[in-house]
A and B are shown apart, each in its own frame.
Chain A
Amino acid sequence: MSASAHRSFAISRMAAITRTTFTELVRLKVFYFLLIFALLLIGNSLFMARLSFQQEFQVLKDVSLGAMSIFTSLLAIVATAQLLPRDVEDRTIYTILAKPVPRYEYLIGKLAGVLLLLALSIIAMSALFFVVLFTREQMLVNETVRGTAGLPPGQIEEAIRSLRASAFNTNLIPGIVIIFLKASLLASLTLFISTFATSNIFTVVVMVFIYFIGHLQATAREYWLQEHGAGWLAKTFLAFVALAFPDLQLFNLVDDIVAGTAIPMALFAKTGVLGMVYTSVYLFFAWVSFHGKEL
């Protein structure tokens, strides 16, 4: 291939890196966590028989969405943290970068591999969750129909309508998309950290700290912006937290969705766009940190 024929940006090269990254991650048997997720749902359902249907659906949704959020966040951090160190250790990175593959393509391909894994995981968990939710809903509808035989049809319809409303809420779907975007943000940030980290463990530990601080970033931002009379040292610290860390609390919409709060679609859209911006910007920072790095 002549130098002029070489394109500076090729989807096919990135797709190859994405495919390899995804295959490597799958070989690490990361999908075993789906088994834990399924066991959690089944274990949860055994306890549910003791609760009323509103309680049952609330707990089922909270546990399922909470578990989805934990698993995807963990997967995003742990899977991404080992990408660069593993490639360096296996010397695969030298083979790839010795070829005419720009470093940004390498990074985009790596991140896309993790995002593909996260997307498939969340689709599998959502499918499992909706199957359990609809199965329980159907069982309860049948029980209600049997238990209310003889009542006026209007009352039976009202009971079934209330039962169905407790089970499925259309906001659940954008809520799950937001969980995915939060995990994407974490993956991108982990990739950025791993470009200058000294080891895999260092990246994971730093990301765990960022995860906790990110959930308190909004509090730090408010204290900083609202002039609480703190000293300059405290103010500088708060400003640093507010500027350097992402606000992860903004992506916790599922708590309120399960509680029954009606969330406007515009708010979902804004949160979604913010998640995508975060992911892209952290990927850009990863490139800035990685492009001149001596390997």
Chain B
Amino acid sequence: MIRGPLVVALLLSFGALRLPIEAALTAQHRSAYFHQAQLGLGLREQVGQLGFLAALSGFRSLVADVVFIQAHIAWERTEWGRVYLLFREATTLQPRAVMFWDMAAWHMAWNASVAALHDPTHASDALRHKAAEEYFALGKDFLERGIKNNPDRPELYESLARLYKEKLDDHAAAARCYARAAALPHAPEYDKRFAAYELSFAPGHEREAYAALRALYDRGEHERLPTLLKRLKYLEQTLDIPLDRRIPN
């Protein structure tokens, strides 16, 4: 009856042989940002028992989608607190899905904030504005955490730039975000242009903006779009650029 111990010995020897190979493969997965969801108590608290079990059994994405659909339904019912909690779960379960971070931020900074501004239950205008600002901060937090998990994807930098521009009125920060998006591989060409546009709206950055817009203009006809020409004209006047160096009308 040596078959039992022999099988156990073979099993453990096979384990020892494959250990370095599996460790190396896991390291390669990590370097490509796979499997970012950390299976810890934080996740357990957020996703509930059933979700945690599903996450353990390798169906993280599927559970994240179910949670996302629940968040979508909560949004249709304008249950903002629930929308926030459900998106927090979905993004924790599947941090590599850029769409979840983007949608979460959009719901918080654009939808929930506007709902808070028009909330009839708040008598005070100041309180309504405070609530809206808290939702802007939640949206920003989603995008910043999304970028930490997906530093290789330009979409979230673009969304953060839009949030700075449209909600926080911080054009310099918006320009920085667009510039960071533009520096990534596979970024759309307009990111560089948008970075320069935003800079042209940021007080104190006029010279920098002029240089960026002029460089784009000098690239050729394909960059000379109406907004670029308009902002360049505006900066030429603001900075009092000599007439011979200005672009033609």
Asked if residues A242 and B15 are in contact (CB atoms below 8 Å), the reply is: yes
Point out the residue from A215, A250, A293 that lies within 8 Å of B57, measured CB to CB. A215
Partner of B26 from the list A55, A59, A250 (CB cut-off 8 Å) is A250
| Residue in B19, B39, B57, B96 whose Cβ sees the most chain A Cβ within 10 Å | B57
**CA separation between A272 and B117, bound complex, in Å?**
54
Chain B residue numbers with a CB within 8 Å of A259 are 61, 94, 96-98
Min CB gap A47→B, angstroms? 7
Instruction: Note all chain B residues with C-beta closer than 8 A to A30.
Output: none
Q: How far is the CA of A248 from the CA of B64 in the complex (A)?
A: 20
Q: Does B197 make an interface contact (CB < 8 A)?
A: no
B12 in contact with A244 (CB, 8 Å):
yes
Is A55 in contact with B99, judged by CB distance below 8 angstroms? yes
Q: What is the number of residues of chain B that contact chain A, defined by CB distance less than 8 Å? A: 44
User: Which residues in chain A, 239-295, are within 8 Å of chain B measured between CB atoms?
Assistant: 242-245, 247-250, 252-256, 258-264, 267, 270-271, 274, 277, 281, 285, 288-289, 292-293
Bound-complex Cα distance A253 to B96 (A): 12
CB of B81 to closest CB in A, whole Å = 21
Quick check: is B225 within 8 A (CB to CB) of the other chain? Answer: no
Q: Are B11 and A285 in contact (CB under 8 A)?
A: yes
A247 touches B97 (CB 8 A): no
Stretch at the interface among B28-36, B162-170, B202-210: B28-36
- In the complex, which residue of chain B has the Cβ closest to the Cβ of A267? B28
A33 within 8 A of B: no
The interface bits of chain B over 26-49 (1 if a CB of A lies within 8 angstroms of the residue's CB, else 0) are: 101100111100010000000000
Decide if B23 touches A225 in the complex (CB within 8 Å): yes
In the complex the two chains form, is B15's CB within 8 Å of A288's CB? no
B98–A260 CB distance below 8 A:
yes
Chain B residues lying within 8 Å of A225, measured Cβ to Cβ, are 23
Selected from B15, B23, B60, B62, the residue in CB contact (under 8 A) with A244 is B15
- In the bound assembly, the distance between CA atoms of A67 and B7 in angstroms comes to 34
Which chain A positions have C-beta within 8 A of B99? 54-55, 58
Contacts of B33 in A (CB 8 A): 256, 261
Known A-B contacts A51-B72, A59-B69, A261-B33; the reply to A254 vs B61 at CB < 8 A is yes
Q: Is the CB of B15 within 8 A of A70?
A: no
Interface string of B1-17 (1 = CB under 8 A from A): 00110110011101110
When each residue 129-145 of chain B gets 1 if its CB lies under 8 Å from chain A and 0 otherwise, what string results? 00000000000000000
CA distance A25 to B131 in the complex (A): 61
B23 and A58 contacting across the interface, CB-CB below 8 Å:
no
B234 interface residue (CB < 8 Å to A): no
- Given known contacts A244-B15, A253-B34, A261-B96, A274 and B58 CB-to-CB distance under 8 angstroms: no
B25, CB-defined interface residue at 8 Å: yes
Majority-rule SS of B interface residues: helix
The answer to whether B59 touches A69 (Cβ under 8 A) is: yes
Knowing A250-B22, A259-B98 are in contact, say whether A288-B56 is a contact too (CB < 8 A).
Answer: no
Whether a CB of chain A sits under 8 angstroms from the CB of B65 is yes
Please determine whether B103 and A270 come into contact, CB atoms closer than 8 angstroms.
no
Find the A residue at minimum CB distance from B6. Answer: A288
Which residues of the partner chain B approach A292 to less than 8 Å between Cβ atoms? 3
Are A267 and B32 in contact, CB atoms less than 8 angstroms apart? yes
User: Shortest distance in angstroms between A125's beta carbon and chain B's nearest beta carbon?
Assistant: 15
Bound complex: CA of A47 vs CA of B68, how far in Å? 12
Residue from A216, A261, A264, A267 within 8 A of B39 (CB atoms)? A216
List 7 additional A-B contacts (Cβ < 8 Å) besides A70-B59, A256-B33: A50-B72, A55-B72, A66-B59, A69-B59, A242-B15, A256-B96, A288-B3
User: Which residues of A are at the interface with B, using a C-beta cutoff of 8 A?
Assistant: 47, 50-51, 54-55, 58-59, 62-63, 65-67, 69-70, 196, 211-212, 215-216, 218-219, 221-222, 225, 242-245, 247-250, 252-256, 258-264, 267, 270-271, 274, 277, 281, 285, 288-289, 292-293
Report, nearest first, the 8 A-B pairs whose CB atoms are least far apart.
A243-B15, A66-B62, A259-B96, A255-B61, A259-B97, A62-B65, A256-B34, A62-B61
Residues of B within 8 A of A (CB): 3-4, 6-7, 10-12, 14-16, 18-19, 21-23, 25-26, 28-29, 32-35, 39, 56-62, 64-65, 68-69, 72, 76, 94, 96-99, 103, 153
